[in-house]
Amino acid sequence: MMDLASTIRAIRAVNLMNHVDRAFSFTRIDSKEELMDAMFNHKWPLCCSFYHEKLLYLSDGECEDMPEYAVVAIDKTDGRFGVHGREVGRIKPASMQPAETPRFILEMNAGIRNVGNPVQFVAEPKWHHSCQLCSLED
Q: For residue 56, is it within any domain?
A: yes
Assess if residue 133 is contained within a domain.
no
* Boundaries of domain holding 46: 4-128
Residue 109 in contact with residue 91, Cβ under 8 Å? no
Q: What is the pTM of this model?
A: 0.78
Mean predicted confidence (pLDDT) in 15-19: 68
Residue 112 domain-assigned (yes or no): yes
Number of domains composing the chain: 1
The H-assigned helical ranges of the chain are: 4-14, 32-41, 101-109
pLDDT tens per residue, range 73-121: 989 888 778 889 999 988 999 888 888 888 888 888 887 766 678 888 8
Percent of the chain residues past pLDDT 90, beyond the cut: 20
